[in-house]
Amino acid sequence: MSADLDIAFPTLDPPDLAALTSRGQPRAVRAGEVLYRAGSTDVRFYVVLEGRLEIEDASGDTPRVVADIGPGQFTGEVNTIGSRATLVTARVVEDGRLVELDAAELRRAVDELPELGETIIKAFLTRRDLLVSSGYTGVKIVGSRFSPAAHRLRDFATRNMVPFTWIDLDADERADALLRQFNISPADTPVVISRSGALRKNPSLEEFASCAGLTSAVEADRVYDLVVVGAGPAGLAASVYAASEGLDVLTTDALAAGGQAGTSSRIENYLGFPAGISGEELTRNALLQAQRFGANVTVPCVVRSLGLDGGDRVATLGDGTRVRTRCVLVASGVEYRKLDVPGFADFEGAGIYYAATEMEARLCRGEDVVVVGGGNSAGQAVVSLARGSRRVHLLVRAKELGAAMSRYLVDRIQGTENVDVHLGTVVTGLEGDERLRQVRARTGAGAELTFATSSLFLFIGADPNTDWLRGCVALDRKGYVLTGPALPPDARAAEGWRLAGRTPFLLETSLPGVFAAGDVRSGSVKRVAAAVGDGSMSVSFVHAHIQRPV
């Protein structure tokens, strides 16, 4: 712990202090002055030259001081870089002098002073971990674990790294007290109680994001260099490379950064991580990296359509806002497939899940669970769930486990005692009342199987998320985006390409200046590393198009 504290709260040496002082604005402060409060956005970064600050967490029942910042030390955590809502309050407790930097000035300092920048970024990441592990309450979500609406909110908070406290209506004694305090009935749940104590009944994701400070301003009268649609590995890679090279980048996602990869319990075949890395950690690092270079990442933000207006591409958002940009990267990924069985929709979020993150794993600890699928995602889920579940039943349509799963996962599953593999097996029915209680299945030999479970995890493939692109760019027969040499001759001979005076680039769609990367692209390799490669490569084509605009 002491080592973590040293990383989280370093004391800068005189040269580093001088470098930050030359980039910021001096400021005299008096005891009792509040520099910023929890929930504030666009918070300044402060370096203490003289005096002392206290960092306070007021998210619980009683405010508590979580850090003391003295001469040579600085304020801030990961949200400071991304201009998202801060989790804590900073208060002056001794008169003194500070150096103040805004978010843009801080990002420049981190970029231009790499060793100091590494110290600051490591401190920010460690501070967040220490704050959460020390009992930070965050927003409170009250509801039933079997409520689809409650699961939607918890999943959104988890995937967007919003610290929250889950209060289970069915098992937590605090739930009744909170409901009485706010004079609401269980039927009104789920409810969200913000850090300030404000209550919202069953908020939309947009309302929850606003409450948590995730939403960034989108400027309709601005012309961006690049709008990235989708913040999975491909979109985040493009955001990092484009922003680091000075392009003005807006990155949107309908749900959360990370895409499907962000829900993976552990990615073990990604280059450079011999011990593996969780999807959550990979996403957190990539998101912070993109924000550090100045990319504006906003969620939830749905792009409804794409078009042209003069020389600009125009992305129309869900609220009707029209965003103008010189280039667009389509990285909207894929959507999970669903089982074609009666009553399926009744149990989505009430026993049926598409990811096996730590949140879902906690829900079914000590219980029997069923996983359906034969690919790597299913294999990773089985390995993760087997650590806490009583027994994991893996249902695979194929006749052998290694047909679509990496060998290392096959070996690990076969060596896990509490995992049963059912080959040539398909789900035929679901039973339950307000929640899932039973899964029925049939083997290739016609035998009927019944599993008593409240948790069914599906990894049965996905379809491209491209409905919003129909009629705008060329798609293949399965709905994936065609690019470069894969475009049909009539698309490459269109008027737009004659005006551009060139043929489409490798990752360019049938519309000049619109590119595609990652799983949504026709012919792409469905791997995290391949998506990252697509996203980073697309930036070179963006530069080439901007230099020769249509």
Cβ burial, residue 502 (10 Å; 0-12/13-18/19+): middle
- Ordered DSSP codes for 348-368: BTTTEES---HHHHHHTTTSE
CATH node for 2-133: 2.60.120.10
What are the extents of the domains in the chain?
Answer: 2-133, 139-212, 223-335+464-547, 344-458
- Note whether 223-335+464-547 and 344-458 share their fold: yes
380 to each of 277, 353, 370, how far by Cα in Å? 12, 14, 14
- Ordered DSSP codes for 66-116: EEEE-TT-B---HHHHHTPPPSSEEEEEEEEEEEEE-HHHHHHHHHHSHHH
CA distance 433 to 126: 44
pTM of the model: 0.92
CATH H-level superfamily of 139-212: Glutaredoxin (3.40.30.10)
* 3-class secondary structure, 422: strand
Task: Per residue of the chain (550 residues), give pLDDT as tens.
Answer: 567 999 999 999 999 999 999 999 999 999 999 999 998 888 999 999 999 999 999 888 889 999 999 999 999 999 999 878 899 999 999 999 999 999 999 999 999 999 999 999 999 999 999 999 998 988 899 999 889 999 999 999 999 999 999 999 988 888 998 899 889 999 999 999 887 788 899 999 999 998 777 877 788 889 999 999 999 999 999 999 999 999 999 999 999 999 989 998 889 889 999 999 999 999 999 999 999 999 999 999 999 999 998 889 999 999 999 999 999 999 999 999 999 999 899 999 899 999 998 888 988 999 999 999 999 999 999 999 999 999 999 999 999 999 999 999 999 999 999 999 999 999 999 999 988 999 999 999 999 999 999 999 999 999 999 999 999 999 999 999 999 999 999 999 898 899 889 999 999 999 999 999 999 999 999 899 999 999 999 999 999 999 875 5
C-alpha of 93 from chain center: 36
CATH H-level superfamily of 344-458: FAD/NAD(P)-binding domain (3.50.50.60)
CA distance 145 to 151: 7
CATH match of 223-335+464-547 with 3.30.1300.10: no
